[in-house]
Amino acid sequence: MGKTTLSNAVITGLNLNMLYINGDQSLYKDILSSLDLAKIGSLVQGYRLLFVDEAQRIPESSSA
């Protein structure tokens, strides 16, 4: 079982309002790598859980 499959199995069982982000998608790369707290806040507002798959592919992801 891969990391993504295992993670999905665990978080699905939590039954929370979740935002799933794939770090390969350019929209999310742009928002998250901008380090603009207003943009990021708008993206995640209303979610109880944020899951970022492939986070290492988002520039600046290890800076914050």
The first and second tokens of residue 1, run together, are 């079982």
Q: Which pLDDT score, from 0 to 100, does residue 60 have?
A: 76
Sign of CA dihedral 4, 7, 9, 12: negative
- Using CA atoms, how far apart are residues 16 and 48, in angstroms rounded to an integer? 6
- pLDDT at residue 64 greater than cutoff 70: no
Per-residue model confidence as pLDDT tens digits over 13-53: 888 899 999 999 998 999 999 889 999 999 999 999 999 98
Is residue 9 very low, low, confident or very high in pLDDT (cuts 50, 70, 90)? confident
Q: Which residue is associated with the tokens 């790598």?
A: 33
| DSSP-derived 3-state class of residue 56 | helix
23, 53 Cβ separation under 8 angstroms:
yes
- Using CA atoms, how far apart are residues 11 and 39, in angstroms rounded to an integer? 25
